[in-house]
C-alpha cells in the first residue's frame, strides 16, 4: 500500500494532487508593495527534515488559515500549486515553493512521533572571511550567548534614517559572531533585555543572513523574515546551556546561568603602609581594559577551578614617579628614607676598603646590617655611629701606613 503522504523531495510541478504532512517552523506577514494588504509566508519541513517555502496571498485563505497557523504545529496539506522558487532571500535551498489557493485543504494534525527540526544552526567557525564561501541570499539559523551589546543608534542609508543595534554572540567553543539588528528588531531586543534578570542571555536568530563588513563577517536580520528568540524555554536553548557551563564553588556544582565577572584581591602599598582591597567587575574592567569574558578568550583561560595566578610583578620607578607623585614626595622628606640613605652610603664606603674584606669583625657587622637594619631605629642609629667611628679609625690607620712607607 503506498504511503498516504509524499515527501518534499518527491514533488513535481506537473502534478497538483499532492498530499504532504509538514511541520510549520516559521510564519510571518509580508507587506504587499505599495498596498495596505499583506500576504502570509510559511516555511515547513517534512519527516525527513527537508524544507520548503509556502505562500498565501488570497485574502479569503488568509482569514481562514490565520487562526490555526502556529509555529511548531503539524498540518496535512492537499491540492497545492508547485512553482519555481525565485525568492531573493531564500528561506530554503529547495528549488520549488508552494502556493496555497482556495482549493488547498489545510488540516491540523497531532502526532507525537513526527520529528521536530525547527532549527538548522550554522557553526560560527564557518562564518568567517577566511572560512567557507557564504551565500548572502540563503538564510540560516544561529544560536549563542550574548557577551557584548552596544546602545541603539541611527544611521543614514539610501537617504533614510534607520535604527540599528550591534551585539556579539559567542558559541560553546569561544567563537564570536558580530550581529546587527535593524528596524523593529531593535525595540524587540531592548525589550527582551529589560525583562532578563542576571542569568546568561541565549539568543537565537532564525532565518538571518551573513554579509562581510569592514573585514569581518556579520549577521543581520532580513526584513520580516528573521525571528528573534531570547531565553525561550526551548530544547535547543537548554542544550546550549549544558554546553556552556560554569563551576559554582559555593554550591559545588556546574551552572549554566552565570555571567563571567571579575573578583580580584589587590594589595596596595604606599609610604605609610599597605592594605588589601577587593575589586569587583566595574573597577577591574576600568583597570584591565577588557571584560572578563574577553580576558578568558584572549588568554585562552578555559578552567575556572581556582585562581588565575600573577606570574610576574614589575616595579617601574619611572611610572611610579609619574603616577604616584605624592608617595615619592613624602619619601623624600621622610626621616626613615634619609636614615636609610645614610646607612647605604656608609656601607658603600666601608665595602670599598680592602681591609674591610680581611677583617672578620667588620664582615659580621655587615651581615647584621643587611638583615636587621630596617627593624629598629635605635639599632640603626647605633650602627651608624659604629660605622662612622670605624670608618674614621680606618682612615687614620691608612694614614699611618703611608707615613711608615
- CATH number reported for the structural domain that contains residue 101 in this entry: 2.40.50.140
Model-wide pTM > 0.85 = no
pLDDT digits (tens, 9 = 90+) for 215-241: 889 999 998 999 999 999 999 998 898
Same domain, 321 and 354: no
Domain co-membership, 42 together with 76: yes
- Whether 215 is covered by a domain: the verdict is yes
Q: Please indicate, yes or no, whether residues 33 and 74 belong to a single structural domain of this protein.
A: yes
Q: Do residues 218 and 243 make contact, with C-beta atoms less than 8 angstroms apart?
A: no
Q: What are phi and psi of 367, to 5 degrees?
A: -65, -40
The more confidently predicted of residues 283 and 112 is 112
Looking at the fold, whether 46 and 131 belong to one and the same domain comes out as no
pLDDT of residue 82: 94
The number of helix segments (H) and strand segments (E) in the chain equals 11, 18
Query: Do both 285 and 343 map to the same domain?
Result: no
The residue out of 58, 86, 109 marking a domain boundary is 109
Q: Domain for residue 226, yes or no? A: yes
Q: What is the pLDDT of residues 315-370, one digit of tens each?
A: 677 766 776 665 555 554 444 454 455 445 544 554 444 444 443 444 443 433 44
Both 212 and 141 in one domain: the answer is: yes
In a domain, 249, yes or no: no
Same domain, 236 and 129: yes
pLDDT-wise least confident of 33-47, 89-103, 223-237, 308-322: 308-322
Which of 77, 109, 141 corresponds to the end of one domain? Answer: 109
Q: Quick one: 162 and 239 in the same domain?
A: yes
Nearest to 134 by CA among 226, 208, 26: 208
- 344 and 323 both lie in a single domain: no
Q: Using one digit for the tens of pLDDT, what is the confidence trace for 126-170?
A: 888 765 567 889 999 999 999 889 989 999 888 889 999 999 999
Q: How far apart are CA 63 and CA 101, in angstroms?
A: 13
With respect to residue 291, please indicate whether it lies within any of the assigned structural domains. Answer: yes
Residue 250 placed within a domain: no
Task: Name the domain boundary from 281, 305, 330.
Answer: 330
pLDDT tens-place string over residues 58-88: 888 999 999 999 999 999 999 999 999 999 9
Q: How far apart are CA 140 and CA 119, in angstroms?
A: 8
Number of structural domains in the chain? 4
- Asked if the structure places residue 3 within a domain, the reply is no
For 355, the domain range is 335-404
| Residue 329 cell numbers, joined | 614626595
Amino acid at each position: 500500500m503506498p504511503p498516504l503522504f509524499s515527501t518534499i523531495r518527491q514533488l513535481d510541478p506537473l502534478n497538483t494532487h499532492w498530499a504532504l504532512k509538514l511541520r510549520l517552523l516559521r510564519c510571518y506577514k509580508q507587506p504587499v508593495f505599495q498596498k495596505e494588504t499583506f500576504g502570509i509566508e510559511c516555511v515547513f519541513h517534512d519527516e525527513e527534515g527537508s524544507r520548503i517555502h509556502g505562500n498565501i496571498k488570497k485574502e479569503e485563505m488568509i482569514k481562514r488559515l490565520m487562526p490555526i497557523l502556529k509555529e511548531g504545529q503539524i498540518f496535512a496539506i492537499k491540492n497545492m500549486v508547485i512553482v519555481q522558487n525565485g525568492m531573493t532571500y531564500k528561506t530554503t535551498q529547495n528549488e520549488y515553493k508552494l502556493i496555497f489557493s482556495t482549493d488547498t485543504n489545510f488540516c491540523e494534525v497531532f502526532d507525537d512521533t513526527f520529528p521536530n527540526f525547527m532549527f538548522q544552526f550554522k557553526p560560527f567557525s564557518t562564518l568567517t572571511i577566511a572560512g567557507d564561501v557564504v551565500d548572502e541570499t540563503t538564510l540560516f539559523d544561529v544560536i549563542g550567548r550574548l557577551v557584548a551589546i552596544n546602545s541603539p543608534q541611527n544611521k543614514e542609508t539610501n537617504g533614510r534614517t534607520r535604527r540599528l543595534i550591534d551585539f556579539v554572540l559567542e558559541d560553546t567553543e569561544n567563537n564570536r559572531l558580530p550581529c546587527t539588528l535593524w528596524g523593529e528588531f531593535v525595540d524587540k531586543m531592548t525589550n527582551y533585555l529589560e525583562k532578563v534578570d542576571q542569568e546568561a542571555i541565549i539568543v537565537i536568530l532564525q532565518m538571518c543572513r551573513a554579509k562581510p563588513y569592514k573585514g569581518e563577517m556579520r549577521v543581520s536580520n532580513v526584513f520580516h523574515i528573521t525571528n528573534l528568540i531570547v531565553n525561550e524555554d526551548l530544547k535547543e536553548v537548554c542544550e546550549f546551556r549544558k554546553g556552556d557551563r560554569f563551576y559554582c564553588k559555593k554550591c559545588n556544582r556546574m551552572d549554566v546561568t552565570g555571567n563571567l565577572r571579575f573578583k580580584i584581591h589587590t594589595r596596595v602599598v604606599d609610604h605609610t603602609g599597605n592594605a588589601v582591597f577587593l575589586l569587583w567587575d566595574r573597577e577591574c574592567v576600568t583597570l584591565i581594559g577588557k571584560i572578563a569574558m574577553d580576558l578568558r578568550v584572549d588568554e585562552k583561560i578555559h578552567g575556572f577551578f581556582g585562581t588565575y595566578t600573577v606570574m610576574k610583578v614589575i616595579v617601574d620607578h619611572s611610572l611610579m614617579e609619574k603616577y604616584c607623585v605624592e608617595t615619592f614626595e613624602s619619601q623624600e622628606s621622610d626621616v626613615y628614607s634619609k636614615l636609610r640613605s645614610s646607612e647605604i652610603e656608609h656601607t658603600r664606603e666601608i665595602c670599598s676598603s680592602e681591609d674591610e674584606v680581611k677583617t672578620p669583625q667588620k664582615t659580621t657587622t655587615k651581615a647584621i646590617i643587611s638583615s636587621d637594619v630596617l627593624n629598629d631605629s635605635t639599632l640603626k642609629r647605633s650602627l651608624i655611629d659604629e660605622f662612622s667611628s670605624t670608618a674614621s679609625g680606618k682612615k687614620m690607620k691608612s694614614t699611618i701606613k703611608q707615613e711608615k712607607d
